Structure 1
């Protein structure tokens, strides 16, 4: 969603290291505490493992590794994405340090994405005294 689209949406804000990120709430099915992860041999470095969520094997991804962030964090929560929206139609969750809130985003709060050749950054949301990076998990997982 760009500032020119003239639409609003709700985003879920979360923390990775010291930065705040967000995803459209339309992608999110649930938020769970980190449980026991099973490591997967020969998995890409950004895959932390898999876990059983309500009978479905869910791949747990570290978005810090996906985005090339060197920041430390606790990885206490998992944002689970709707497999029908994420391109590869598999159950995926992101390991994040903290989940904050769902907020309404208006077009005048969103600046165009900075130079991002992946297309994974939808824009930067200006809120209060901070910037929130708005990412598109569908694009991120379509690259895999």
Structure 2
């Protein structure tokens, strides 16, 4: 993945990245319709050009202290390919969005860097951009975790 492009963004104090091929668009905050009895980090759904899109607040899912009101955040719209199904379109709330860039992957055994205790399965690798460390998220692991939590709620 060393030569792949990544989309970088911030959640709380941390810098994160997703491979750019998942990114469909970035929106300024738009109203989100809450869904009753949803998991706390599943903020609801929004209408994006006629499609109903689920919006996830990773800040809350990861247990970060939320300093910035959601109305001042950006929404990163992702499109994730699914086996034998239509692509899954999701919105992620981000405190801020940064850039599309190549990142230098760092080999490390301790790649949670204290930011996500007990959730390092959500991180596929650690990268550097200059002197800054950036955690590359594993979207499939995050989705699996959400699906398991939804099943437990039933």
TM-score range, shorter chain: 0.7 to 0.9
Contact kept? 1:18, 1:71, Cα under 8 Å: no
State the aligned residue count.
137
Instruction: State the alpha-carbon separation in 1 of the partners of residues 80 and 34 from structure 2.
Output: 21
Contact kept? 2:103, 2:129, Cα under 8 Å: no
Contact kept? 2:124, 2:136, Cα under 8 Å: yes
- The alignment status of 1:47 with 2:42, answered yes or no, reads yes
Which one scores higher on RCO, CA 8 angstroms, separation ≥ 6? 1
* Aligned residue in 1 for 2:133: 131
Structure 1 gaps of 5+ residues are: 2-6
Which shows bigger deviation, 65-74 or 84-93? 84-93
Q: How does 1:86-97 map to 2 (within 5 A)?
A: 89-97=87-95
Shift of 1:105: 2.2
* Aligned residue in 1 for 2:22: 27
* Aligned residue in 2 for 1:81: 78
**Root mean square deviation, CA, Å:** 2.4
* Aligned residue in 1 for 2:106: 110
Structure 2 gaps of 5+ residues are: 113-117, 147-154
2:81 aligned counterpart, secondary structure: coil
Query: TM-score, length-normalised on structure 2?
Result: 0.77
Shift of 1:28: 1.1
Query: TM-score, length-normalised on structure 1?
Result: 0.82
Contact kept? 2:6, 2:102, Cα under 8 Å: yes
Shift of 1:112: 3.8
2:21 aligned counterpart, secondary structure: helix
1:45 aligned counterpart, secondary structure: coil
